[in-house]
Chains A and B, each alone.
Chain A
Amino acid sequence: MLELLSQPWPWYTSGILIAFVMVILLFFGKSFGFSSNLRVICAACGAGKTTKFFDFDWRSQTWNLLFVVGAVLGGWISSEFLSNGDVVQISQETIQDLKALGMSAPDDLQPNELFSLEALFTVKGFLIMLIGGFMIGFGSRYAGGCTSGHAISGLSNLQLPSLIAVIGFFIGGLIMTHLLLPFIL
Chain B
Amino acid sequence: MSKSEAISWYRIQEMFRFQAFHMYGIIGTAVVLGAIATYLIKKFNMKDYQGNPIIFTPKEKSVPRYLIGGTIFGLGWALTGACPGPMFVNLGYGYWAILVAIVGALIGTYLYGVLRDKLPH
Contacts and interface: CB of A to CB of B under 8 A. Distances in A.
A binds B: yes
A144 B30 contact: no
Interface in B49-98: 49-50, 52, 54, 56-63, 65-85, 87-98
Contacts, number: 430
Contacts of A98: 10, 13
Contacts of B100: 120, 126, 129-130, 133
Contacts of B69: 138-144, 165, 168
Of the listed residues B41, B71, B83, the one surrounded by the most CB atoms of chain A closer than 10 A to its CB is B71
B2 interface: yes
Size class of the contact patch on chain B: 35 or more
A114 B40 CA distance: 43
B97 A79 contact: no
A53 B80 CA distance: 26
A4 to B, nearest CB: 11
Size class of the contact patch on chain A: 35 or more
A142 to B, nearest CB: 3
A28 B33 contact: no
A97 B74 CA distance: 20
A54 to B, nearest CB: 5
Nearest to A130: B104
B29 A133 contact: no
A29 B28 CA distance: 24
B71 A171 contact: yes
Contact of B59 (A20, A37, A132, A159): A159
Interface of A: 5, 8-16, 18-20, 22-23, 26-29, 31, 34-35, 37-39, 41-42, 47, 51-54, 68, 71-79, 82, 86, 88-91, 93-94, 97-98, 106, 109-111, 114-117, 119-120, 125-126, 128-148, 150-162, 164-178, 180-181, 184
19 contacts: A5-B3, A15-B29, A19-B29, A19-B34, A20-B33, A22-B37, A29-B54, A34-B85, A68-B88, A74-B89, A115-B9, A133-B104, A134-B105, A138-B72, A139-B71, A143-B72, A154-B59, A156-B34, A158-B38
